[in-house]
Amino acid sequence: MPERIAEVTALLAEVLAPRAPLTVIVDGGDPGAAAAFAARLAAAFPTTARAWRVDAVLGLTGPGGGMFDSALNVLEPATDRILVFLRGGPRHRFAEGDGEGRAQVVIDHRDPEWPVIRHLHPDLAGVDRWYLSESRAFFAARAADWDTKFGDDMPRYAEAVRLTGVRPGHVVLDVGCGTGRALPALAAAAGADGRVLGLDFTLGMLDAARRAGRDDRATLVLADARRLPVADATADVIFAAGLVHHLPDPEAGLAELARVTRAGGVLAIFHPTGRAALAARHGRTLRPGEPLSEERLGPLLAASGWRLDSYEDVPDRFLARATRR
């Protein structure tokens, strides 16, 4: 596992070193974790030059005077300063803060031995430099026990498939299928004359789907949702569970889903938990303008070739249904 720490700090050092002189500030709520990560990051920079400084910011009081305010809630990015936010530790402390939103680098640090970059500002590195490898690392570490943690969601998947309207003979793509929890219901609805493909970019997730026997009536494909190995206008239905809010460019991702869908085809954007409940699970509150908010999702879909037909966001389900124009 220490190799994962080395991968992350090496990537960040490679991205940040050309910007020196530079101050890198690491924060996230756990002083010990911030200090340890700052030390590892400092050590990853090349020894040929030391025109930078990496600090863990400790004990900085926020604008409200609260002792638990994140330092990044009051600091602002600058041309000579990079803010790094570690997700982890006592998450409830910063649920109302915007430290993560201000940071140019966000790292999932709930397991300090397996950090994963979840956001890099595009001014630092293009998304193709980090998104696929880091996202695969994030989900690979969770694949083995995914169904153990979330197995009780299966009835919600079956109900979402029913509401999506898959019919016998349909070609269905489950994009970001994970361990394939929707595949049995999708295959049953599409029938013997239909075809179901489960696509995911994490080999461990697809392996878990095979172990669960969910490839009996579905074809599993290792694929990036942003560049699907599928011909234009192939699908009658796209089922996308827990996908869109993970995409680095939701509009481009939705446009790729539109490319592979025939005119009149259906897109179902699903999550077995409502947005507010999911945010609370991760120790934060919803922010305006998030991709799956109703006020933003409608225009995103319209700009990428879809028409939003229905939108439901309740505690035990998020389901938005759209039609390919």
Yes or no: say if 263 and 325 are a contact pair by the CB < 8 Å rule: yes
Helix axis angle for 31-44 and 2-16, nearest 10°, is: 60
Pairing relation of β-strands 22-27 and 81-87? Answer: parallel
- The span from the CA of 273 to the CA of 278, in Å, is 6
Res 283: pLDDT? 74
Yes or no: say if 134 and 224 are a contact pair by the CB < 8 Å rule: no
Q: What is the mean pLDDT of each run of 10 residues along the chain (325 residues)?
A: 87 89 84 88 78 64 46 74 82 54 91 94 95 96 94 94 98 98 98 98 98 96 98 98 95 98 98 94 84 97 98 97 98
Yes or no: say if 121 and 185 are a contact pair by the CB < 8 Å rule: no
Residue in 96, 89, 107 with CA at minimum distance from that of residue 66: 96
Sign of the four-CA dihedral 240, 98, 118, 259: positive
Res 78: pLDDT? 82
- The span from the CA of 309 to the CA of 320, in Å, is 8
Q: Which amino acid is at 162?
A: R
Residue in 266, 276, 77 with CA at minimum distance from that of residue 167: 266
The secondary structure element, H or E, covering residue 318 is: strand 317-324
Residue in 189, 200, 95, 160 with CA at minimum distance from that of residue 317: 160
Res 282: pLDDT? 78
Res 2: pLDDT? 62
Res 189: pLDDT? 98
DSSP string, 35-99: HHHHHHHHHHS-TT---EEEEE--S---TT--TT--GGGT---BTTEEEEEEE-SSGGGGTT--H
